[in-house]
Every structure is written in C-alpha cells, then in structure tokens.
Amino acid sequence: MMKKILMIATGGTIASKEGAGGLTPAMTGEELASFVPGIEDKCELDILQLMNIDSTNMRPRQWMEIRDAVMEHYGSYDGFVILHGTDTMAYTAAALSYLIQNTPKPIVITGSQKPMGNPYTDAKLNVYQSILYALDDGSCNVSIVFNGKAVAGTRGRKQRTRSFDAFESMNFPLLAAIHDDRIVRKYVGPLPSEEDLVTYTRLNDRVFVLKLTPEVKADLFGLLDGGYDAIILETFGIGGIPEYDDSFEKAIFGWVDSGKTLAVTTQVPEEGCDLDVYQVGRKYSEHPGILQAGDMTTEAIVAKMMWILGQTDDRDEIRRLFFKEINHDRTV
Ligand code: ASP
C-alpha cells in the first residue's frame, strides 16, 4: 500500500510571486504540488493550507498552529512535509523538535531560495526530496531537507541568503545526503516507536537573545526585566564576558538571583562555548541558575527555552530539561 503524506503549506519564498511591494506568498499548496512531477507515483499526498505568510512573520503562535495541525492528522498519515519560508525555518524546526518529540513519523520542513514560478527555481527538487525523505523507513523526528541535505531540526542554520545551499547542520553531522532519488544516511541512530511519542502544547515566549558587542552596557539587563523571563547571552569566543568593571557581574548575578533564567552561549557559529576556559568566563560557570548551552545553536536555545519555561518555573527542572539532549540538539 502507498504511504500517505500530509503536506502543510505555510508560505515563504517557495509560494511567492512578485507583487507591487516585492515578493510575497501567493501560491497555494495545491498549486505548488502541481509543479513537482513524479510525487503522485510515490505516495498519496494530501495538502493542507494552514497560512500563507513570509516566515519573517512566523511566531510561536504559528509554530503552535503547525504543531496542532500535525497532531490533529497524526493518525491518518505516515509522514508530514511542511512548506515554510527559509528565513526563520531553523527556529520553527527547533520549536517543532521540542513540541513533538520522538516521533517515528517524520516531520520534514522545506522551502526554497527561489519561488516555484521562477524558471531557475530550487523549489521542485526540495519538495520532491522532502517527500522522498518523509517516505523513507529510516527517517524519523523533525528535520530540514534542503538542497540535498537532511539536517536535524535542532541543528539547522540559514547560512546563506542567496545560494541554493542555504542551510548548514551546525556542530552535528548531516542526517543524510540526498542525491536525486537516493538517500545516503550519514547518521544512523535508533528509531523511536509509537509509544515514545511525547507532545507539548505550551510555550513561554518571554525569551530574549542578547549579543555582547564591545562597550554594550550591562544596564540592558534592567531594561529587560519587566518583559522577559530568560536571557540567552551570546558571549565572545568560547565564553568571554567583559570584566573591565563589575557591571556585568552585578547584572548577571542579579538577574539569576532574582529567579530569572540565563543561558550562556557563544556568538561564534561553530564548536560551542565553555565558560571554564578563561578567567573572563569562569566565575559564571558554577552558578546553578546559569545554563551553559554547549554546542547548541542559538535558534535551538531560543525554542528550547520557550518550551522549557512553558512547562515549568522550577529551577532544578529547568536545568534538567535544558541539559537533556532532544533531537540531537546538544553534544553530551
Ligand atoms: N522571506 C522568505 C521567508 O522566509 C525567504 C524564503 O522563504 O526564502 O518567508
């Protein structure tokens, strides 16, 4: 029997046409599917048009709509392909990785750098290969499939604004390379079973990313106090936080001692952070309220923090969940 795939269309460049004000989503999921020859021989495909937006406008409430759509139809399909803008795809892929964990039914997110209607588009192959990947018995969990690469949903990053090769897998191997119709696995792990599936319905969006720049002022912490429950601090290098005066020390310890959450990461794209290496970081490494993000991507930390704070405000539980590896999000 042919497998069943649900394709969920949300917009993005893939669906865009040139309008008076610039490219904007205009094509439906049905129209997009009609551009991709050969899929009708591979699977039974249904299409759900959930929204039609530039992913610049994608927020936690839309992540939740996508999550709900997948779960509502979970029993009726063997896999899911989500068409999405590339700009915030890595955030959505990470968010879905936390909201729907250990799914044996693959949830694949794709899009394109050029609209489906563009004669030189990358959209056809991305959609085709995403469907192939979602149909494959070796696939599971949430992933991004783009330009012949399958990337774990928590490890994607949009690295290029124009090239077809837009996404990289950060600090973790590709799940697979896809050459035409062939899926070449690069990472083989245990496949979850139906009983392993866990889903969540709450997020706390009061999460802010603060990138250190030379001379940035620590009073920012005070300004963020009313609006945010967690700060993700992108430090310099492997974990440097300025100590030319005591303003950062006061602001950071003040923030966590007031019960708020702080995760520390690096603004360097590869290899992660470790506060223990330099004097300019070590004093922060032992505090129970300061969470070291290791080699997670900032996109995944944002989504994970929103998911964690949606479940609990207990410090020990926040810590436990933060350090738990989910969909390959961190190297333990
Ligand atoms: N601005 C578009 C979006 O993210 C870019 C794309 O899809 O490539 O929706």
Of 10, 13, 265, 297, the active-site residue reads: 13
Pocket of ligand 1 contains residue 86 by CB under 6 Å: yes
Mean pLDDT by 10 residues, the chain (332 residues): 97 96 97 95 97 98 98 98 98 99 98 98 98 98 98 98 98 98 96 97 98 97 97 98 97 97 98 96 92 98 98 96 98 92
Distance 223 CA to ligand 1 centre (A): 31
User: Nearest 10 degrees: CA dihedral of 114, 300, 269, 168?
Assistant: -40
pLDDT score recorded for residue 288 = 85
pLDDT score recorded for residue 306 = 98
Pocket of ligand 1 contains residue 62 by CB under 6 Å: no
pLDDT score recorded for residue 286 = 87
Pocket of ligand 1 contains residue 87 by CB under 6 Å: yes
Helices 298-311, 89-99: crossing angle, 10 deg rounding: 40
Helices 60-72, 89-99: crossing angle, 10 deg rounding: 50
Count the neighbouring beta carbons within 10 Å of the beta carbon of residue 259: 10
Ligand 1 probe mutation, 10, 14, 16, most atoms within 8 A of CB: 16
Pocket of ligand 1 contains residue 154 by CB under 6 Å: no
Question: What's the predicted TM-score (pTM) here?
Answer: 0.98
Distance 26 CA to ligand 1 centre (A): 13
Q: Which residue do the tokens 């005070």 mark?
A: 222
Contacts of 228 (CB under 8 A, 6+ apart): 206, 207, 208, 260
Distance 330 CA to ligand 1 centre (A): 27
Pocket of ligand 1 contains residue 113 by CB under 6 Å: yes
Pocket of ligand 1 contains residue 122 by CB under 6 Å: no
Nearest alpha carbon, ligand 1 atom 3: 85
What is the Rg, in whole angstroms, of the alpha carbon atoms belonging to the chain? 20
Task: Please give the number of the atom of ligand 1 that sits closest to the Cα of 55.
Answer: 9
- Our answer to whether residue 13 is catalytic in this structure is yes
Residues 198 and 102: beta-carbon distance below 8 Å: yes
* Burial class for 169, CB neighbours closer than 10 Å (0-12, 13-18, 19+): buried
Pocket of ligand 1 contains residue 55 by CB under 6 Å: yes
Distance 86 CA to ligand 1 centre (A): 5
Distance 15 CA to ligand 1 centre (A): 9
Closest CA to 3 of 35, 49, 40: 40
